Amino acid sequence: MKKRFGLILLLGLLVGLTGCSSSDDDSGGSAATQTISVCDTSHLSLCTTESTCLNASGEWYDNSCNSDPSSTWGVMSWDSGEWK
């Protein structure tokens, strides 16, 4: 009986010293907090569609979201009595 109690006590100490536990939950304690950036005014490069870009107050051109308006104007042409 003494040997079994000593073994259990020793195993308990080892678990306590190594920080192991019976739980596999890594979300508690002193774990580092991870920040996830999303498409917003401060992260326009993360906006992948025109609608998300415009919702974040960005300017969509050249297939990307930009903070500055485009400096190039589209060229209009007169075709069959209409500007296109």
In the chain, what are the domain boundaries? Answer: 37-69
pLDDT in tens, 49-71: 999 999 999 999 999 999 998 86
> Distance between CA 75 and CA 35 in Å, rounded?
43
pLDDT in tens, 14-48: 545 444 444 445 555 567 888 889 999 999 999 99
Give pLDDT, residue 69.
87
Q: What are phi and psi of 47, to 5 degrees?
A: -80, 120
- Report CA-CA distances (Å) from 64 to 37, 44, 49, 50, 53: 17, 9, 8, 8, 8
Q: pTM of the entire structure? A: 0.46
> Distance between CA 55 and CA 51 in Å, rounded?
6
